[in-house]
């Protein structure tokens, strides 16, 4: 964590459907009502203890930890079919080292898949949100 206990903000490009699923996830886990405008784009960090930031930190940490399984489950072909103009920016907050790890994994997956980052980020986050939804349904 940074010296003053702040998360680093970073952006991922995802399909509109994944963005909506992410917004639903954050509403359910942290009470974030308007995800699209939740994080201030002029800021590069968010304080620890912010409910939305804490939720996205957990999400990114789980994505990094489970990346291999998410990669195996990801529907890359479906993500490739998304029109290039249809991706939207989703801001996430996480521990700076977790952000670096997530970026490395996304980049490696993009290289292996011979795809752009938008495709990989959409496919991986879609797989994560599907797993999270299935876990919630089991409760």
pLDDT, residue 139, reads 42
Please tell me the total number of residues recorded for the chain in this structure: 139
Nearest-angstrom CA–CA distance, 102 and 89: 16
Domain extent for 108: 6-138
The owner of tokens 């409760």 is 139
If one counts the domains in the chain, the total is 1
* Residue 111 confidence (pLDDT) above 70: yes
Dihedral angle sign, alpha carbons of residues 72, 74, 77, 83: negative
pLDDT tens for 25-82 read: 999 999 999 999 999 989 999 999 999 999 999 999 999 999 999 999 999 999 999 9
Within a domain: residue 29? yes
16 forms bridges with which residues in the sheet?
A: none
Is the pLDDT score of 97 beyond 70?
yes
According to the model, what pLDDT value does residue 134 have? 86
Does residue 24 form part of some domain? yes
34 is written with which tokens? 């308007």
Whether residue 85 is contained in a domain is answered as yes
Residue 1 counted as domain residue: no
- Nearest residue to 127 via CA among 21, 10, 40: 21
Which of 111, 106, 131, 108 lies closest to 121, judged by CA? 106
pTM > 0.85: yes or no? yes
């Amino acid at each position: 964590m940074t010296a003053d206990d702040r998360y680093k903000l970073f952006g991922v490009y995802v399909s509109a459907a994944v963005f909506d699923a992410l917004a639903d996830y954050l509403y359910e886990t942290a009470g974030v009502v308007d995800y699209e405008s939740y994080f201030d784009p002029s800021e590069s960090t968010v304080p620890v203890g912010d409910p939305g930031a804490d939720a996205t930190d957990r999400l990114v940490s789980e994505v990094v930890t489970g990346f291999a399984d998410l990669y195996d489950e990801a529907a890359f072909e479906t993500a490739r079919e998304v029109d290039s103009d249809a991706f939207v920016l989703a801001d996430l907050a996480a521990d700076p080292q977790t952000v670096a790890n997530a970026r490395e994994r996304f980049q490696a997956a993009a290289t292996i898949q011979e795809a752009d980052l938008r495709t990989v980020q959409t496919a991986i986050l879609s797989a994560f949100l599907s797993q999270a939804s299935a876990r919630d349904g089991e409760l």
